[in-house]
Amino acid sequence: MKGLEFTTGGESHGPSLSIIVRGIPAGLRLDLDRMNGEMTRRQHGYGRGGRMKIEQDRIEVTAGVRGGETLGSPIAMTVRNRDWENWKAAMDPWAVDEKEAENRRLVSPRPGHADLAGGQKYNRRDLRDVLERASARETAARVAAGAVAKELLYELGVKVSSATLSVGRVGDPNRPVTAKDMSEVDHESPLRAIDRTVEGAMVEEVDRAKLDGNTLGGVVAVVAEGLPVGLGSYVHWDEKLDGRLAQAVMSVHAVKAVSIGDGVTAAGLFGSEVHDPIVHQKSKGFSRPTNRAGGLEGGVTNGKEVVIRGYMKPISTLRRGLASVNLDTREPHRSQWERSDVTAIAACGVVCEAMVALVLASVMREKFGGDSMVEMKRNFEGYRGQLRGW
Ligand code: EPS
């Protein structure tokens, strides 16, 4: 059984972002307000640049839904770029004004960005052709796709949430993380910090970086609760769920490392300090009092919360610039600055949540199949009944 598939299209300053999600069964009721709530959450966060004051991301569904219920056909969505109005002359799909295009050309590539390698690969001398698609604006499309995946997961009793563990040097990236911590995160707070006592210091860290013309990364955690035992597989390398989640989170812009559970700290400890003991109670069956494995053993869910961390590098567009080369003269030149964020760590958590939700919804579809929600839920319930026999 195929799971969920999605694809996105769209340039950062083009007319809109397009999203197609394939594999959602018929008969899932979608809550558009809740889905748009995800879009709003991604736009929040201290340290964002001026663009977020222009955009008001809203999902427009154009296919696959009737009367608020999915039809089993591909779900097509659009998110408009309001900034397009300011970029038409340079970004029009058919008629580009040469002077405007020249004004918007990126002459000195940014170290850490896709600019140079992307230009060489696709043979685009105007690096705007690269940066427009490489831009993290695309994460709005991922959150729209993830919002659909989350609707399916809600229906199956699964919840995915996230928080910021650290920004630059402030916060503790290795602190234990549970779903309860996530439920206490204030999504309106400046950085969606898991520990409110350090949020003020995080804000100051962002202010310092901004004054310095610099940028910051950080670490986010994503937690999924309500998953049954047995998603993923230990028998094929590409079906191991930890590997699939890592790929999904690593694909988020500026994420350079991913860990599952206490993966990073565990590498420096003894086995006796790391592995979660197994206990059995007549009333509850098998369980583990700790969750250092982050809910995954052998690439398979074990019934505990799945805990993933994403490590985001500092954004590669710095107001102070970085050592680079002018593509026209081949002389040393500071990398160009254009309006950007100091940090997007608060948004990164929401985007990682979306990617995790998409993978989890996909493995649920692979395991429980069904063309309709009724059929899928029946299969899911049958499996849960089987597990109760253990
Ligand atoms: C981004 C640069 C900025 C960010 C953008 C990602 O855009 P602009 O160049 O238009 O100011 O605001 O993020 C978004 C637009 C968004 O929706 O998150 C980049 O270069 O990656």
| DSSP 8-state code for residue 111 | T
For 309-340, b where at least 16 C-beta lie within 10 A, e where not — what string?
bbbbebbbbbbebbebeebeeeeebebbeeeb
Percent of the chain with pLDDT over 70: 100
By most ligand atoms within 8 Å of CB, the mutation choice from 319, 341, 345 for ligand 1 is: 341
Average the pLDDT over 137-159 and give the result. Answer: 98
- Distance from residue 327's CA to the centre of ligand 1 (Å): 23
**Closest ligand 1 atom to Cα of 42:** 18
Q: Does residue 338 register a pLDDT over 90?
A: no
- pLDDT at residue 135, rounded to an integer: 96
Average the pLDDT over 77-96 and give the result. Answer: 97
Q: Determine whether the shortest distance from the Cβ of 341 to ligand 1 is under 6 A.
A: yes
Q: Determine whether the shortest distance from the Cβ of 215 to ligand 1 is under 6 A.
A: no
Higher pLDDT, 338 or 49: 49
In sequence order, the 6+-apart residues with CB closer than 8 A to the CB of 272 are: none
In sequence order, the 6+-apart residues with CB closer than 8 A to the CB of 102 are: none
* Side-chain half-sphere CA neighbours of 4 within 13 A: 28
**Closest ligand 1 atom to Cα of 131:** 20
- Distance from residue 136's CA to the centre of ligand 1 (Å): 6
Average the pLDDT over 132-160 and give the result. Answer: 98
Q: Enter the tokens of residue 266.
A: 């565990």
Q: Enter the tokens of residue 25.
A: 């069964």
Q: What is the mean pLDDT of the chain?
A: 97
- pLDDT at residue 1, rounded to an integer: 67
pLDDT in tens, 264-313: 999 999 999 999 999 999 988 999 999 999 999 999 999 999 999 999 99
- Distance from residue 385's CA to the centre of ligand 1 (Å): 47
Place of tokens 């160009």: 336
Q: Is 227 exposed, middle or buried, given 0-12, 13-18 or 19+ CB atoms closer than 10 A?
A: buried
**Which band of pLDDT confidence, cut at 50, 70 and 90, is reported for residue 144?**
very high
- pLDDT at residue 340, rounded to an integer: 84
> pTM for this one?
0.98
- Distance from residue 49's CA to the centre of ligand 1 (Å): 8
3-state secondary structure 281-341: ECCCEEECCCCCCCCEECCEECCCCEEEEEEECCCCCCCCCCEEECCCCCCEEECCCCCCC
- Distance from residue 135's CA to the centre of ligand 1 (Å): 6
Tell me how far CA of residue 303 lies from CA of 136, 224, 248, 371, in angstroms: 33, 10, 21, 26
Place of tokens 């996105």: 8
Place of tokens 């559970």: 261
| CA–centroid distance for 198 within its chain | 24
Higher pLDDT, 367 or 389: 367
pLDDT in tens, 187-243: 899 999 999 999 999 999 999 999 999 999 999 999 999 999 999 999 999 999 999
Place of tokens 């809910």: 295
- pLDDT at residue 231, rounded to an integer: 98
Within the chain, residue ranges assigned H as helices are 32-43, 51-54, 84-91, 98-103, 115-122, 128-134, 139-155, 179-183, 199-211, 241-250, 263-266, 271-274, 345-368, 373-388
Neighbours of 170 (CB within 10 A): 20
The residue whose CA is least distant from atom 10 of ligand 1 is 51
- Distance from residue 20's CA to the centre of ligand 1 (Å): 22
